[in-house]
Amino acid sequence: MKKYDSVVIGGGVLGAFVLRSLRRYDISCILLEASGDIAGGITRANTAIVYTASDNRPGSLKAEMAKRANENFHELCNDLGVRFSRCGSLMVSFGEKGDEVLRKKLIQGEENGVRGMKIISGSEAKMLQPLLSENVTTALYSPMTGTVNPWELTIAAFENAVQNGAQAKMNAKVIDIIPTDEGYEVKTENDVFFAKTVFNCAGLEADKIHSLVSNDGIRLSIDGADFIVFDKYAPKPDMIIFHETENGKGITAVPTVEGNLIVDSPPREADNSFDTTSEGLDYIIENLNKVLPELDTKRIIRSFGALRPNPHKPDGRSIHSFCIENPSPGFYSLIGIKTPGLTCADEIGKYLAGFAVEYLSAKINEDFDPVRKTGDHIGGEIICLCENITKGEIISAIKRGAKDIHGIKRRTGALMGKCQGSRCSIKIKKILEEYNETL
């Protein structure tokens, strides 16, 4: 049986950052991912927003972490070699109820120490973002809001963790966890891993993993959202637009680091699948017409669905804070870490590593290097014509762990252009096949 100080379950953004944070200390650790690749679960579909703390209750862990994370985000992305755009945001409203929500957010944000926020009029908002509707009544400007690509961030954190000595195993679905006197036996179909501490970052499965060691009855309910994507060349707002309707959250439009615009629907019911719904997609188009009426819908290239796990107490009550549980000594569960989970991933990682350090009496890892080393790109024929990705870059992505075209997409940006892979996906599949045959 392989022995570790820590096992991290789940290769999403949280698992990757917990793993990396553990390696800041002299803690031997392995990440177990059920599927063949990291960043393929709920991490892959996300609004990609780096929030300020204006949405969080003053004094809460979320507010504290979000503020610190937001301020440090540039440095984090710099270390990891990940694109980050502090594009700022405008929350726009269309009537008195919405205006009131904005004023409350301003007060809350200021109380949380968010810098630079101010309320502006609808016409001032239109001057800032000419594509906005004339019917905006009030806007909340927030210069600290930003955007990052969630899977790029996850892969970078994971690679940096591995460069710092962390281990990882793919296709390692955890099927049982047996507590012992010294720790836990974590069983997968083919292996057993012994660990003194376990970090459950299993996303949609986090409640099931948690229930292997706990009877507290915390469970997840899953809701979803729909997204549409505009191509890079569409005229678009250059700030994030949050749409506050008279009855709550509307759409959110995010100009991504790649140069696209993604627009999401409010949360809706979901049946645990990433399917999109006609209702959600129709809602987005209808509301884009109200908020950003001049956007050219001919430039839509994609839609996708997202899932969000929400934690509940056994009696059904929602848990609003970050649900970080410690059901037995050395076992930590992250259950339904939703917004601002992406923003706070590094903070949450450090927070959990802090528990491990105390529990294991671990020392600082003097050799830890927070800077991710990225390989040199290699050339060759240009395979992805939209993004000019070469065969060499694709092969390097396979060597870095990509198992299929989705993994290639997340590591190179191929398939993300205007043709959405119609000109290169067959070629990329061939390259994958050829590479695997040489193994």
List residues binding another protein (CB under 8 A). Answer: 228-229, 231-233, 235, 273-278, 281, 285, 298, 300-304, 376-382, 385-386, 388, 390, 392, 418-423, 425-426, 430
Q: What SS3 class is residue 100?
A: helix
Smallest gap from residue 327 Cβ to another protein (A): 32
Angle between helix axes 150-163 and 13-22 (nearest 10 degrees) is 30
Q: How many Å apart are CA 384 and CA 34, to the nearest integer?
A: 29
Smallest gap from residue 173 Cβ to another protein (A): 16
Q: How many Å apart are CA 95 and CA 138, to the nearest integer?
A: 8
Q: Which is nearer to another protein, 139 or 284 (CB)?
A: 284
Q: Which is nearer to another protein, 131 or 162 (CB)?
A: 131
Smallest gap from residue 273 Cβ to another protein (A): 7
Nearest to 258 by CA among 227, 232, 295: 232
Cα–chain center distance at 258? 15
Smallest gap from residue 400 Cβ to another protein (A): 18
Helical residues (DSSP H) of 164-270, grouped into ranges: 206-211
Spatial contact of 92 and 291, defined as CB atoms under 8 Å apart: yes
Smallest gap from residue 367 Cβ to another protein (A): 31
Q: Which is nearer to another protein, 280 or 336 (CB)?
A: 280
Smallest gap from residue 232 Cβ to another protein (A): 8
**Which residues make Cβ contacts (< 8 Å) with residue 6, sequence separation at least 6?**
22, 27, 28, 29, 30, 195, 196, 197, 198, 199, 356, 360
Spatial contact of 408 and 394, defined as CB atoms under 8 Å apart: yes
Smallest gap from residue 402 Cβ to another protein (A): 16
Spatial contact of 377 and 392, defined as CB atoms under 8 Å apart: yes
Q: Which is nearer to another protein, 68 or 423 (CB)?
A: 423
Q: Which is nearer to another protein, 61 or 285 (CB)?
A: 285
CB atoms within 10 A of CB 379: 9
Q: What SS3 class is residue 281?
A: helix
